[in-house]
Amino acid sequence: MPTVSVGRDRLYAALGRTYTQEEFEEVCFSFGIELDDVTTEKAIIRKEKHLDAEVEEDEEVIYKIEVPANRYDLLCLEGLAQALRVFSREEEIPTYKLANISKESMIKMHVKPETSSIRPHVVCAVLRGVTFTEASYNSFIDLQDKLHQNMCRRRTLVAIGTHDLDTLQAPFTYEALPSSSINFVPLKQVKSFRADELIEFYRSDLKLKKFLHIIENSPVFPVLYDHNRIVLSLPPIINGAHSAINLKTKNVFIECTATDLTKAKIVLNTIVTAFSAYCERKFEIEPVEVIYSDGKLYVYPDLSIYNMDVSLSYVNGTIGVSLEAEEVTDLLNRMQLRAEQSVSGDITVFVPPTRSDILHPCDVMEDVAIAYGYNNIPKRSPASLKPLALNELTDHIKLEIAMTGFTEVLTFILGSWRENFAMVNRKDDKSKAVVVGNPRSSDFELVRTSLMPGVLKTIGHNKDHPKPIKIFEVGDIALLDERKDVGARNQRQLAALFCGSSSGFELIHGLVDRVMEAIGAAFVPISDHTGYFIQPSDEPEFLPGRQASIIYKGKHIGTFGIVHPEVLNNFDIPDPCSFVELNVESLL
């Protein structure tokens, strides 16, 4: 996206009001431009020279504003300020017109056929009675630079020359001649150069050397002369010194030579519309007649309005709103598009020469949407599915544990009272377990309150499996809960067990660390409630002194330790085991 640098105070003066930076940013956001940077001229120079100087109080604040790449009309302060004034309804859309002069008194540009082999097109215009200030003059030069960089594709497609018309005499000719036959004093030089020597001279010129390739290998160079054979310019390289414009220039002759005629016309229109505001007759541009050797005549600039019919239903149907035709035309006016309701009830848009970006009714529709406000358009939500966060998190954690070398087991929810309590050294205080009333066998007496019995039973039945064994299970237990309508709730638990020739306590401890790391919890000092820490615990299913609690965000979420040898014995496990069980829901 191109960036335009404008003086803040000058911009506010042109807008007729001041803004706080936040207010201005809001206006930019809704219009589709962006305040990219706030700096000062001196700061830019300091940055270029890598200096660290004190910031002076009186430095002029520069706003660097990013504009859409297809809005050439916004590439200078004049165009930008006008667009924003019209957008906020502080100004009417200007009407640009050609000066009403007779065909005879019109300035003429004769195009020689040789130009067709190198740079076939030229378009011209005149700004009469211009009053430049230093600021507007600089803006005029900057705009040409911006256009050269952007639309003109570094002068390959279009090159702009601006001249003090009072130093020249019409008619002009646009020719293509061997470089050795062109002699002139180029801009910023005092001595005359032959064109081929000039090319060599500019090879060391940092700015101009980039453009030499466009013509240097051509047998003929494009060149513009006035009636007295004074060179206006050697496009796309340099203008002549003779016709250079300055602050006092009143009448400006503009020529754009090009390989792309469409772009040349847009470039010319962009310049003359923006700066006709400084003409004696505001928004009036004097046309120039371009005459080709085959006799074809064209009058430039082409300020013709392009009429585009846009159906109201298309606008409403595409944006997703129901606006009346008047509302649409009103919104379009704010975007500098004059529009009216046609007899058929649809909209006719009069696309001005400044708005070369309008190619299709969809561009008009977009401007309606911008003026209406993107953020005011009612949303229509698509049908879609929402995953359950708990199950998503469970799946992620399961994968992480499996990736550390643990194998998943899936055990039964139902079990016997003995294995759920007595066999794991736990007391039944009747406050926890959901108890089955009609168990067919002791295996279905209750709903597990821990994953431990199922995991230990798995080890007990896999005595012959090579050691060590590393298994885990993530699943629900059920707990009595008075707050629930049915008096019980599920709770998602994670359990993991190591069984080997020694207990593997530190390995299970390491797994706890990995699970906590995986959910993004930091290991913190004891009593710190921002992450997790480990402290000794005293649970009957584990060996005393060989067990610990996991405290996460100040809450006890689980325990790990060496399984008590009595418990191992109860499950007929001959090898030491370490086990962890924690509440997954507390990690959510």
Partner 1 sequence: MAEDAILGYLEKNDHISDSGQFAAERRIDHNEIVNVIKSLHGFKYVDAQDIKRETWVLTDEGKAYTATGSPEVQLFLAIPPEGISKEELQKKLDLSVFKIGCAQAAKNKWVEMGKQLVTRKIQHVDDKVKDLLLQIQEGQAINQDDIKALKARKLIVPQTWKGYSVKKGPNYAPKRKKVATDLTRENLQRGDWKEIEFKEYNFTAKGLPTEGGHLHPLLKVRQQFKDIFRQMGFEEMPTNNYVESSFWNFDALFQPQQHPARDSHDTFFLQAPSTTKELPEDYVQRVKQIHESGGYQSRGYGYDWKREEADKNILRTHTTAVSSRMLYLLAQKPFAPKKYYSIDRVFRNEAVDRTHLAEFHQIEGLVCDRGLTLGDLLGVLHEFFARLGMSKLRFKPAYNPYTEPSMEIFSYHEGFGKWVEVGNSGMFRPEMLLPMGLPEDVRVIAWGLSLERPTMILYGIDNIRDLFGHKVDLGLIKRNPICRLGL
Query: Is 20 among the residues that bind partner 1 (CB under 8 A)?
Result: no
Query: Is 363 among the residues that bind partner 1 (CB under 8 A)?
Result: yes
Give 486-490 contacts, CB < 8 A, sequence gap 24+: 488/434
Give the residue, chosen from 343, 383, 410, 486, that forms a contact with partner 1 under the rule CB under 8 A.
Answer: 383
Give the residue, chosen from 186, 287, 301, 361, that forms a contact with partner 1 under the rule CB under 8 A.
Answer: 361
Among residues 113 and 317, whose Cβ is nearest to partner 1? Answer: 317
Query: Is 574 among the residues that bind partner 1 (CB under 8 A)?
Result: yes
* CA atoms of 424 and 35, how far apart (whole Å): 68
To the nearest whole angstrom, how small is the minimum distance from the Cβ of residue 300 to partner 1?
15
Query: Is 509 among the residues that bind partner 1 (CB under 8 A)?
Result: yes
Among residues 412 and 523, whose Cβ is nearest to partner 1? Answer: 523
Give the residue, chosen from 39, 88, 150, 342, that forms a contact with partner 1 under the rule CB under 8 A.
Answer: 150
Query: Is 381 among the residues that bind partner 1 (CB under 8 A)?
Result: yes
Query: Is 257 among the residues that bind partner 1 (CB under 8 A)?
Result: no
Q: 259-278: which residues touch partner 1 (CB under 8 A)?
A: 260-263
* Residue 425, number of CB atoms within 10 A of its CB: 15
Query: Is 588 among the residues that bind partner 1 (CB under 8 A)?
Result: yes
Q: 152-171: which residues touch partner 1 (CB under 8 A)?
A: 153, 157
Tell me the angle at which helices 505-518 and 389-403 cross, rounded to the nearest 10 degrees. 140
- CA atoms in the 13 A half-sphere facing the CB of 206: 0
* Residue 267, number of CB atoms within 10 A of its CB: 29
* CA atoms of 33 and 2, how far apart (whole Å): 10
Residue 202, φ and ψ in degrees, nearest 5 = -85, -5
Do residues 373 and 321 lie in contact, with contact meaning Cβ atoms separated by under 8 Å? no
To the nearest whole angstrom, how small is the minimum distance from the Cβ of residue 70 to partner 1?
5
Query: Is 404 among the residues that bind partner 1 (CB under 8 A)?
Result: yes
To the nearest whole angstrom, how small is the minimum distance from the Cβ of residue 468 to partner 1?
11
Among residues 55 and 526, whose Cβ is nearest to partner 1? Answer: 526
Give the residue, chosen from 93, 299, 370, 422, that forms a contact with partner 1 under the rule CB under 8 A.
Answer: 370
Contacts of 439 (CB under 8 A, 6+ apart): 445
Q: 303-322: which residues touch partner 1 (CB under 8 A)?
A: 306, 317-321
Give the residue, chosen from 295, 437, 466, 520, that forms a contact with partner 1 under the rule CB under 8 A.
Answer: 520
Among residues 374 and 412, whose Cβ is nearest to partner 1? Answer: 374
Asked if the peptide bond before residue 525 counts as cis, ω within 30 degrees of 0, the response is no
Contacts of 375 (CB under 8 A, 6+ apart): none
Among residues 329 and 394, whose Cβ is nearest to partner 1? Answer: 394
Which stretch in 36-44, 231-239, 399-407, 447-455 sits in contact with partner 1 by CB under 8 A? 399-407
* CA atoms of 337 and 319, how far apart (whole Å): 18
DSSP E strands: which ranges in 338-424?
A: 338-341, 347-351, 407-408, 414-415
Which stretch in 14-22, 25-33, 44-52, 118-126 sits in contact with partner 1 by CB under 8 A? 25-33
Give the residue, chosen from 97, 227, 360, 465, that forms a contact with partner 1 under the rule CB under 8 A.
Answer: 360
Contacts of 98 (CB under 8 A, 6+ apart): 284, 285, 286, 287, 299, 301, 303
Do residues 68 and 41 lie in contact, with contact meaning Cβ atoms separated by under 8 Å? no
